[in-house]
Amino acid sequence: MAIIKFAIPKGSLEEATYQFLSQAGYVISGGGRSYRPQINDKDIALKLLRPQEIPTYVSEGIEDIAITGEDWISETKSDVQILCNLEYGRVKLVAGVPKDLPVDSLTTLLDYLLSRNQPIRISTEYLKICSDWVKSNQVYREKFGDQDPMIVTPWWRIGQNPSVSIFLSFGATEAKPPEVADLIMDVTETGSTFSANNIKIIETVMESHAVLIANKAALADPIKREKIYDVLALFRGVVSGRKNLHIFVNVKKENLKQLLAELPALKRPTVTPLSDEGWLSVNTVVEKQQFLQLLPVLRKLAQGLVVHEPRQILPLDEIPKGVEGEA
């Protein structure tokens, strides 16, 4: 029987999540139409779920850990533990209006439409985030105080202020203006879909990445916690591996001190004597973005440069050791 229940996202994050799991060393099979793919770890039970649902299921203990977007954690206000930013699936949650509308912010939109006694219609999947964003606006507070915008779904209406209505969108949100909505809130990577639909972005509400989350009760369980930390170690290793390079160089003894002074390391470089007494081997980990700046130094002081792009670099000293290792 599996120790932990692990939900992974169906939809836009799905392909990148499978790639991430593969880099972590997991082999997934039986995907396609199945919502219960198999994984090469008998202690994990995988399930595919929509990312919108995942934070709530983890908060309620239906799933122990999961991958989902930060945006849906904020939207559902779920009480979960974020263990690691996985640094993929980056999107921006933005607000947009028709390009011909003479406004450039929520403030100017409120002033423009309300001064004409026009109600404001907003279309989004992110009802709670949108409501909080609108209520935090100074112009809105001055005109409506603590009233909640009216939130409209096919099943219910809540809120006291019909002058600003937020309608639940089931997709194709960019198609809603101008007939259905004056403003939309949706996620975007590049903004190209907004532009193609004659919509200009006026504000960025938040940025979101894929994250690993856990149920707090599962983390309090000693057996589940140990398995969760195993997963966390592998995932942090992937994140670190994607940002670093593992390099090996041979250097003359008289150049070692200068090379080490120039060479950053993940912790400390490993220095090993070679068969030729006048030479040493140095291996270390450097950030990818530093490598091009380091190359002139390496060319000057070293020979035999070998560069590896690691699949993982596991920061084991940063992962809690479990029951016996915890303070």
What is the pLDDT, as a whole number, of residue 267?
63
Q: Which residues of 161-193 are buried (b: 16+ CB within 10 A; e: fewer)?
A: bebbbbbebeeebbebbeeebbbbbbbbeeeee
Q: How confident is the model at residue 324 (pLDDT cuts 50, 70, 90)?
A: very low
Looking at residue 28, its pLDDT comes to 93
The pLDDT tens digits of the residues spanning 202-237 come to 999 999 999 999 999 999 999 999 999 999 999 999
For residues 209 and 199, is the Cβ–Cβ distance under 8 A?
Answer: no
Task: Give me the amino acid identity at 43.
Answer: D
Helix, strand, coil proportions of the chain in percent (round to 5)?
A: 35, 30, 35
Report d(CA 59, CA 74) in Å as an integer. Answer: 13
Instruction: Locate CATH 3.40.190.10 in the chain.
Output: 4-89+209-220, 92-208
Distance, in Å, from the CA atom of 280 to the CA atom of 224, rounded to the nearest integer, reads 45
CA distance 199 to 170: 18
pLDDT at 326 over 80: no
Question: What local confidence, expressed as pLDDT, does residue 263 receive?
Answer: 77
In CATH terms, the fold of domain 4-89+209-220 is D-Maltodextrin-Binding Protein; domain 2 (3.40.190)
pTM of the model: 0.88
Per-residue confidence (pLDDT) for residue 311, from 0 to 100: 85
Average pLDDT over residues 236-251: 92
Domain 243-316 sits in CATH 3.30.70.120: yes
Alpha-carbon distance 109 to 111, whole Å? 5
Mean pLDDT to the nearest integer, 21-31:
90
The CATH homologous superfamily for domain 92-208 is Periplasmic binding protein-like II (3.40.190.10)
Structure tokens at 27: 């082999």
Between residues 33 and 36, the one the model is more confident about: 36
Alpha helices (H) along 137-278? 138-144, 192-196, 216-220, 222-243, 253-262
pLDDT band at 297 (very low <50, low <70, confident <90, very high): confident
Q: Where in the chain is the domain with CATH 3.30.70.120?
A: 243-316
Q: Strand 157-158 and strand 44-49: pairing? A: unpaired
Question: Which tokens hold the place of 243?
Answer: 């940002």
Q: Is the pLDDT of residue 323 over 50?
A: no
| Sheet containing 44-49, strands listed edge to edge, beginning at the edge strand earlier in sequence | 44-49, 4-9, 65-69, 210-214, 81-85
- What mean pLDDT value characterizes the chain? 91
> Given a cut of 90, is residue 32 above it in pLDDT?
no
* Tens-place pLDDT, residues 156-204: 999 999 999 999 999 899 999 999 999 999 999 888 889 999 999 999 9
CB neighbourhood size of 71 (10 A): 24
pLDDT tens readout for residues 70-122: 999 999 999 999 999 999 999 999 999 999 999 999 999 999 999 999 999 99
